[in-house]
Structure 1
Amino acid sequence: MRGSLLQYFRELDPDSLERPVVALMVDTQEKEDEVPIHTHRKGQLVLAQRGGVTCEVPSGLWMVPPRCGVWIPGGMPHSNRATANASIYFLYVDMNAAPVPHECCTLSITPLLHEVIHRLATLAPLYDQEGPAAHIVAVLLNELIEMPTERLHLPVTRHSKLRAIADALMENPADRRTVAEWGEAMALGERTLMRLVVAETGMTFSRWRQQLHIIIALQRLSAGDSVQAVSEVLGYDSVSAFITMFKKALGKSPARYFSDRAKRGEQTPAAHLS
């Protein structure tokens, strides 16, 4: 299906499909697209075939690089934002169909699981449960619960002032204001703000902002932006400074990070990473 994500969700109610697992693929339009906060009974795996997707839940932001998936358990409010020209799989799973996680997590998707999801997505949502689809679903569920997790989320908070800072940094990630400057803007003392960030997110302010930069960097690199362009968007003085930050956070340079994914059969915008 090609069109806006909002149109897609208006036309489909996954909970109305009486199947334990349903897979669908959506190609977004030539601009960023977003589905506002919503819920459904089934759990949802959001898998980016091309481009990047960010999911927001009450406890954080979750980045979906190509060939990774974000798992959102049933009943959890969430929104989805996709980059332009993204290709996305939405997998809906009955929470009783398998021992799936009851918390959000980012999963590293193997080529086998990706192909099984793709195969199921080619079938009609109300597929014949007595035919070959039953075997596809069995393999899919067995593989899904074995997938390793990755640390690609940003803890956020319902505290109004911290949320205001997070929203501002997402709008302008190059903003380099210090904790003291943010405290002044939020009418908080520097130490008060530092303690508040740690209490609400489990991270120091600098680590929290760095995690946001990693999420934005992965999303933009996944969409095909160059390392230089991403470093400029994030406000780094040089490409080397950005690469150093990336390596400290993920243990690899951007080129190596995506190269390793390519070796596992995952798509990578390698041409933009040199």
Structure 2
Amino acid sequence: MQSHARGHLVYAAGGVLAVHTERGTSIVPADRVAWTPAGFTHSHRAHGDTDMRIVFLPPSLARLVPDRPAVFLASGLAREVLLALTGPRDSDDAAPRHSRSARSRLLRVLVDELREAPEQPLHLPEPRDDRLRAIARILRETPAENASLAELGRTIGASTRTLSRLFRAELGMTFYEWRTQLRVYHALVLLADGHDTTRTAHACGWANPSGFIAAFTDIVGTTPGRYRAGRRTTAR
């Protein structure tokens, strides 16, 4: 875990990244950008053959993006700017030597692109209440667990009504929405590790691949098959 005086963008040019903060976990598939504001304690974890790029923003530009962790879809222009700022993958050289003014212009273009980009529903908030934390722990350890909220409530000693209220109040979503996002995040990791769609669907709690494909597409914006094919394309 670490924190920085400046906010930074983490770009997945290939593979899948997980960015953990006290607010929750952002899953960053290929061609997404995760933003972590200054001062947030965080850690990064790579899954699969991951090409990670990091760009720090000066305060004058950081104030133009959200003051909380967020994930954005990288436009073609944003992708090219990120690659230009960070250099070719697996290079022994440092990042390209841009003049200060040129780098400032590139950063401004990048931030302008991110301000136009839609936020992705790829940030899973972290529960604070001990009862929700207990449920989150169970589901993270066994994503395929299909117990209802009532059954999980009996396990931890809380009523369905109380848990439903806590999910909405703390996390801004229902239990089933939160569990679906958690499962899709786990699926992204499995797909990055080379698992096929059917095996991934079953490992994440779906009885058939069609339900998994629909949920995955709704959150990630593409089907698991297209995602697996696209992630094989690495940066220049």
Partner of 2:72: 107
Alpha-carbon spacing, 1:109–1:223, altered in 2? closer, same or farther (3 Å)? farther
Tell me if 1:63 matches 2:33.
no
- The residue correspondences of 1:45-194 to structure 2 (distance < 5 A) are 45-97=9-61, 99-122=64-87, 124=94, 127=97, 129-130=99-100, 132-194=102-164
8 Å contact from structure 1 (residues 51, 65) kept in 2: yes
Given the two structures, how large is their TM-score scaled by the length of structure 1? Answer: 0.72
Alpha-carbon spacing, 1:40–1:117, altered in 2? closer, same or farther (3 Å)? same
Please give the root-mean-square deviation of Cα atoms over the aligned residues, in Å.
2.8
Alpha-carbon spacing, 1:226–1:43, altered in 2? closer, same or farther (3 Å)? same
**Structure 1, unpaired ranges of 5+:** 1-36
- SS state of the match for residue 49, structure 2? coil
The structure richer in helix per residue is 2
Per-residue Cα deviation, 1:18-56 (whole angstroms, up to 9, x for no partner): xxxxxxxxxxxxxxxxxxx32111111111111111112
Partner of 1:246: 216
Per-residue Cα deviation, 1:138-188 (whole angstroms, up to 9, x for no partner): 433443433332111212211122122212212220111221221122111
AA aligned to 2:151 is E
Given the two structures, how large is their TM-score scaled by the length of structure 2? Answer: 0.82
- The residue correspondences of 1:257-272 to structure 2 (distance < 5 A) are 258=227, 267-269=230-232
- Give, in whole Å, the separation in 2 of the partners of 1:243 and 1:130: 45
CA positional deviation for 1:57:
2.1
8 Å contact from structure 1 (residues 62, 154) kept in 2: yes
Partner of 1:213: 183
8 Å contact from structure 1 (residues 105, 149) kept in 2: yes
Partner of 1:9: none
AA aligned to 1:95 is P
Partner of 1:204: 174
- Give, in whole Å, the separation in 2 of the partners of 1:209 and 1:49: 27
- Give, in whole Å, the separation in 1 of the partners of 2:136 and 2:60: 35
Per-residue Cα deviation, 1:196-232 (whole angstroms, up to 9, x for no partner): 2222212221121111112222343345431112112
- Give, in whole Å, the separation in 1 of the partners of 2:194 and 2:205: 19
AA aligned to 2:207 is D
**Structure 2, unpaired ranges of 5+:** 88-92
Percentage of identical aligned residues: 33
